[in-house]
């Protein structure tokens, strides 16, 4: 057993007996871990109350030799991301992000990049205006795919490496294919240049620095990311997840 002191966000919890909880934390140092929080429901404990979802705290853990399971010794709450609980759209988006983390990050994985991505996304959900939440969601999905090495290749043809031409995107190929490659016109959807550049901007820039996309550009980008997620995460009902949507104030000509 080893002692670990690390920031962590509670991502799943279950009652264990009458007074305890089994909790999954996404931690900075050890990724996703499963720990027993003894006496979490008792009036006095060292966790600052029973453990709820989407609360970040400083954790003292006693973990097994493989670092995946153990016991929670102490928790000091740092934030519960309180503004997420003040509006249904923000809370739904946070729970959607949480579902993605649970689906993509097995126990023992997610240290470092995935933890910081999730933490930044939850803070952004608290502060971004509602009309920016759909773009934030796309950015989160792409960066989560990037953290797992599954992001779509958008800068050059995945077959020949060409950086020019009319591109189509094929989820099974992992990215875009140029028109010069054999049979490329028979698979995938054509990607307009403005959509490709928008998706690249989401991977390289902060959402706050990206101009709001036109409605047609956003819809195409949304469809591309959905197809990529369905194929690589094998999640057939992906489009049914709660999702923030662009407001109707987008230019009518592009609807």
Residue 112, classed as helix, strand or coil, is coil
Same structural domain for residues 246 and 141? yes
Structure-block tokens of residue 174 = 């992992």
Same structural domain for residues 238 and 134? yes
Question: Is residue 70 a part of any domain in this protein?
Answer: yes
Question: Is residue 91 a part of any domain in this protein?
Answer: no
Structure-block tokens of residue 141 = 């999905």
Rounded Cα distance between 169 and 154, Å, is 8
Per-residue pLDDT of the chain (255 residues; tens, 9 = 90+): 899 999 999 999 999 999 999 999 999 999 999 999 999 999 999 999 999 999 999 999 999 988 789 999 999 999 999 999 888 999 999 999 999 999 999 999 999 999 999 999 999 999 999 999 999 999 999 999 999 999 999 999 998 998 887 898 988 888 998 888 876 445 678 899 999 999 999 999 999 999 999 999 999 999 999 999 988 876 544 444 444 444 433 433 333
Same structural domain for residues 69 and 183? no
Rounded Cα distance between 40 and 21, Å, is 6
Task: Find all residues with CB under 8 Å of 131, minimum gap 6, and list them.
Answer: 212, 246, 247, 249
Same structural domain for residues 143 and 243? yes
Sign of the Cα pseudo-torsion (211, 214, 217, 221, in order): positive
Question: Is residue 111 a part of any domain in this protein?
Answer: no
Same structural domain for residues 45 and 143? no
Domain of residue 210, CATH code? 1.20.1440
- Residue 101 class from Cβ within 10 Å (0-12 exposed, 13-18 middle, 19+ buried)? buried
Same structural domain for residues 38 and 140? no
Same structural domain for residues 148 and 222? yes
What's the Rg (C-alpha) of the chain?
21
- Expressed as residue numbers, the domain containing 226 is 128-254
In this prediction, residue 189 carries a pLDDT of: 81
In this prediction, residue 68 carries a pLDDT of: 86
Indicate the number of domains in the chain. Answer: 2
In this prediction, residue 249 carries a pLDDT of: 38
Same structural domain for residues 248 and 166? yes
Question: Among 17, 52, 82, where does a domain finish?
Answer: 82
**pTM here?**
0.87
In this prediction, residue 79 carries a pLDDT of: 97
Domain of residue 78, CATH code? 2.40.50.140
Question: Is residue 121 a part of any domain in this protein?
Answer: no
């Amino acid at each position: 057993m080893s002692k670990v002191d690390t920031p962590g966000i509670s991502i799943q919890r279950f009652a264990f007996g009458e007074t305890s909880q089994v909790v999954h934390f996404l931690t900075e140092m050890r990724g996703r871990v499963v720990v027993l929080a003894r006496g979490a429901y008792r009036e006095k404990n060292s966790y600052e109350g029973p453990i709820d979802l989407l609360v970040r705290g400083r954790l003292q853990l006693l973990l097994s030799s493989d670092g995946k399971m153990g016991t929670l010794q102490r928790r000091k709450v740092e934030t519960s991301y309180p503004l997420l609980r003040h509006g249904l759209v923000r809370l739904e988006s946070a729970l959607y992000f949480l579902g993605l983390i649970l689906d993509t990050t097995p126990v023992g994985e997610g240290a470092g990049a995935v933890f910081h991505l999730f933490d930044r996304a939850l803070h952004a959900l608290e502060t971004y205006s509602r009309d920016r939440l759909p773009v934030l969601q796309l950015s989160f999905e792409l960066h989560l795919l990037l953290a797992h090495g599954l992001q779509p290749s958008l800068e050059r043809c995945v077959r020949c490496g060409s950086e020019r031409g009319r591109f189509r995107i094929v989820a099974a190929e992992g990215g875009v294919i140029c028109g010069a490659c054999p049979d490329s016109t028979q698979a995938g959807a054509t990607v307009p240049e403005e959509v490709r550049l928008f998706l690249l901007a989401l991977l390289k820039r902060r959402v706050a620095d990206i101009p709001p996309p036109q409605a047609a550009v956003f819809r195409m980008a949304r469809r591309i990311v959905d197809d990529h997620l369905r194929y690589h995460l094998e999640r057939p009902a992906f489009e049914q997840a709660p999702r923030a949507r662009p407001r109707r104030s987008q230019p009518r000509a592009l609807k």
